[in-house]
Structure 1
């Protein structure tokens, strides 16, 4: 499966039709009724639901909550994840009992994403750990030696800039295939319009769905589609996209003088991909972690 495109059989939602109608402006080259048909056809084939994730500063965050950064869940009997003798750091953890249900994803348990602390946003070493049972009663303190080591990590080497609760909701994602030029040519012939006009008008009509955002499931939104090619046919499911994000003007901040919550080269994202069958079996030992940037 090509990770830059997604199959979907659900109908075009009314809100998307409304968005298309709103683009009936002089800048559009294609009439609104034709554009609506074109985008509707693309949506039917390439739209897919995912879980959209909001990052919020929350003083009440606990080790069993879904979060980016923060203190990891560390139950009795767990060995803290290491690589080359150095502790990994918690990038994110998702408690699926806090999230809306999404096909083929867990409905319970907690998945942790640990990464290295190297200058490539931890992509040299990463480890995912799934806990089927989650309870604060089982939690223990992270070893002090780990805490002391991670205190010395350079913050600029980490993509997250604080600790944030993750709030999830079902939402639509959309991405066109890499060979979209051929697709636009076919649509141009079918609807008797210009190929370049299709590309420009479709981009405007679907911009809200293709915007880079933090989510899992659904379609990945790449800035640079070349970053993930080798494994895309065998690891086709988006386990997580953690997107660069700045604070809104009046939003509470984790650090007073910090402008970003997440920063992968300012506008990029971190991606985790897994094989669909392994996901169903809750086997997270073979996951690809990469990132892109502008």
Structure 2
């Protein structure tokens, strides 16, 4: 068995053991309706509810909105209502690198019911998000989300990958034990990348990072569920849809039990780029 065949055999084993439900996200640039699943656009807000602000009173911008009726089949995720992701439009896209789980310059909001009587024109009277510079927007315009369900095994970038891979590799190849995935050699990442990378925009599944998984540090491993990932994306004509810094990626994580309880008060937000 070649080295590549061995690596792929190990991955196929752990892929089946670690698979999770996911929804891939494609973006279609168009004017969206108030309760659509979307990136950008006007947020749904119940009557009497204010736009989220940071501790300086600056309004946050709607990054993404999920109509949860479209998450049918995604266990643990809400099946009705609206789930929203807001960020402050400054040069860090609302990320406080020292307090990435404090919802000040970002916010995740969930409404369990939708009032169909809410009018977009009424929300436009109060929605005036702070934007430090237009160039800081990670998207331009608004996009409707199109979901496709699939299953995904653990990705190369997930901080648990090394532990899971090494355990199975050593079980299968007892005469060639390793202590870390990187003990194989530098070519192994390239051999696995297309098969194992977690890139792309999605709900659920496993994450992708251009740098490293922040959950490997500072006791953040309790954020064990990928709530939303928005990658840098182009359309079929090469036009930019979303871009995070230098072709980076954005993730939001939650604890699985809190997700089951529809408790969105404790979220880890991250983005990084090359």
Partner Cα separation in structure 2 for residue 100 and residue 198 of structure 1: 42
Q: Which residue in the other structure is 1:168 paired with?
A: 147
What residue in structure 1 maps to residue 100 of structure 2?
none
Of 35-44 and 264-273, more deviation after overlay is shown by: 35-44
In the other structure, the counterpart of 1:8 is: none
**Residue 188 of structure 1: CA displacement?**
6.9
Q: Which one is further off, 102-111 or 168-177?
A: 168-177
Matching residue of 1:14: none
CA-to-partner distance for each residue in 1:188-237, whole Å, 9 max, x for gaps? 73486998668746753561441411111111112222434335322211
| 1:284 matched to 2:264 | yes
- Cross-structure match for 2:210: 223
Give the secondary-structure state (helix, strand or coil) at the position aligned to 1:106.
Answer: coil
Paired residue secondary structure (1:142): helix
- Please state how far the C-alpha of 1:182 moved relative to its aligned partner: 3.9
Task: Report if the CA contact (8 A) 2:14-2:168 is conserved.
Answer: no
Which of 88, 92, 101 is 2:60 aligned to?
88
Deviations 1:128-154 (A, max 9, x none): 11111113313452253643x54x542
Gaps of 5+ in 2: 97-104
CA shift digits 1:75-125 (9 cap, x unpaired):
212111111111110000100112332111111111011111111012141
1:159 counterpart residue number: 138
CA change 1:230–1:36 in 2 (3 A) is closer
CA contact (8 A) 1:65 1:95 kept: yes
Q: Given the alignment of the two structures, is residue 186 of structure 1 paired with residue 170 of structure 2, yes or no?
A: yes
Normalised by the length of structure 1, the TM-score is: 0.75
Secondary structure, counterpart of 2:20 in structure 1: strand
Preserved contact between residue 264 and residue 292 of structure 1 (Cα < 8 Å): yes
Aligned-pair Cα RMSD in Å:
2.9
**CA deviation vs aligned residue, 1:8-55 (integer Å, no higher than 9, x gap):** xxxxxxxxxxxxxxxxxxxx94475x5663332121233322111111
Q: Deviations over 1:227-270 (max 9, x none)?
A: 343353222111111111122217xxxxxxxx311111232111
Aligned partners of 1:216 and 1:239 also within 8 Å: yes
One of 7, 22, 44 as aligned partner of 1:50 = 22
TM-score, length-scaled by structure 2:
0.80
- Contact kept, 8 Å, 1:100 with 1:170, in 2: the verdict is no
Residues 56, 164 of structure 1: 8 Å contact kept: yes
- In structure 2, what is the equivalent of residue 64 of structure 1? 35
| Secondary structure at the counterpart of residue 90 of structure 2 | coil
SS at match of 2:173: helix
Structure number with larger C-alpha Rg: 1
1:239 corresponds in structure 2 to 227
